[in-house]
Amino acid sequence: MGYMSSTPTTEQVNAALATVQDPEIHRPLTELDMVKSVEISADGAVSVGIYLTVAGCPMRGRIEKDVSAAVGKVPGVTGVTVDLDVMSEDQRKALQTKLRGGQAEKEIPFAKPNSLTKVFAVASGKGGVGKSSVTVNLAAAMAAQGHKVGVVDADIYGHSVPRMLGADDRPTKVEDMILPPTAHGIKVISVGMFTQGNQPVVWRGPMLHRALQQFLADVFWGDLDVLLMDLPPGTGDIAISVAQLLPNAEILVVTTPQQAAAEVAERAGAISAQTHQRVAGVIENMSYYQAPGSDERTYLFGEGGGQVVCDGLTKSLGTRVPLLGQIPLEVGLREGGDSGTPFVLSDPDSEAGKVLRSIAEELVGKPRGLSGMMLGISPARR
């Protein structure tokens, strides 16, 4: 070439490494103390040592590739080799403390008074009303609107959220901290990720409570705008545990239009009177069917159930409970649930997609600036 390109400096290589994020923790490797060593030879060949958090790290290939690509872009680098090592127990403990903001003990971040995360517990009176599908599509709509979203699949007996989101990865454990897999930009954790195959979960109340507590305290959620929890149908142990663990969680009630479903759904919302939680609103699912290209709506399951629930809850709770939206039946909603791509992403302009997107926007508003900050003023309890 006729001129000598200068040998890259350690600073340049470290600056390049600072642009590489751990795929699970989503923070730079340099910040997580994952860079073990950087050696630069005179001919510009760079050797980088990286500490993996755990030996069988499922993302090792991705980390290797990202490091090679980033360091390879530094002027003067002629080649990159990446050596992977594994953190010692002490290093992992230090990382855990760092991720927890210097706190070694466990607490549920969303339950702290200064938490900015909006928590919605999605409840229904009975199964089969499409509660999980509503949860997943709201999560996907919120994430697409620019919010940081997490989903806890607390439906212990019918855990279907990971499949609906296409979240096939297992969670990774760093010491006793769990890193949730991400799908469509949504962090998701489910009891189904901790059982073998499609085993049913046969747990009693106290175990369920403990599992839920773990999902909330041991999982590294990072800084979430919204946390959605898919509850089992009915008014059982889990609903009470959620109220104890997350007193600030707001309840979303999902029902279908028929009166029988509405009565049961009203009971699910009414426990909030005992738990002092706010009911954010009612969502009526499977409201009507509209054939493609036609304006005619067929009310397969009767009509008015959602409004009945709103009226009943408004009366029993003494505060207005709004009907947030009526979602029509669409074949794609079910197909999306089976394929792992939520319907609001694959078909956002469909009628159901529009309703779901508007409900999502109504619940969380615009991505947060300072508007969501707690001012330390609490409303007087009646």
Ranges of CATH 3.30.300.130 domains, the chain: 10-99
Determine contact, residues 305/258, Cβ cutoff 8 Å: yes
- The verdict on whether residue 93 carries a ligand-binding annotation is no
Let me know: does 25 contact 220? Beta carbons within 8 Å.
yes
Q: Given pLDDT bands bounded at 50, 70 and 90, which one contains residue 236?
A: low
Task: Please check if 127 is assigned to a binding site.
Answer: yes
Helix/strand/coil (H, E, C) string of 175-242?
CCEEECCEECCEEEEEHHHHCCCCCCCCCCHHHHHHHHHHHHHCECCCCCCEEEEECCCCCCHHHHHH
**Cα separation values, 195 from 157, 173, 199, Å:** 12, 15, 6
Say which DSSP state 283 is in. E
Asked if residue 132 belongs to a known ligand binding site, the reply is: yes
pLDDT for 2-24, tens place per residue? 345 588 898 999 999 999 988 87
**Helices and strands (DSSP H and E) totals, the chain:** 12, 14
Average pLDDT of span 136-160: 88
pLDDT digits (tens, 9 = 90+) for 344-367: 898 888 888 899 999 999 998 765
125 is in an annotated binding site: yes
- Mean pLDDT, rounded, for 224-244: 80
Homologous superfamily of the 10-99 domain (CATH):
Fe-S cluster assembly (FSCA) (3.30.300.130)
- Residue 80 pLDDT exceeds 50: yes
Q: Can you give the pTM of this predicted structure?
A: 0.72
Mean pLDDT confidence for 40-53: 91
Please tell me the distance from the alpha carbon of residue 97 to that of residue 205, in angstroms, as a whole number.
Answer: 31
The pLDDT assigned to 1 comes to 41
- pLDDT value of position 373: 40
Q: Does the annotation place 38 within a ligand binding site?
A: no
Record: fold of 109-364: Rossmann fold (3.40.50)
Average pLDDT value for residue range 100-115 = 74
Domain with CATH 3.40.50.300 in the chain: 109-364
pLDDT at residue 357, as a whole number: 92
The whole-number pLDDT of residue 16 equals 94
pLDDT of amino acid 374 = 42
Check the annotation: does 131 bind a ligand.
yes
Residue 90 burial (CB count, 10 A): 8
Residues contacting residue 18 through CB under 8 Å, at least 6 positions apart: 28, 29, 30, 31
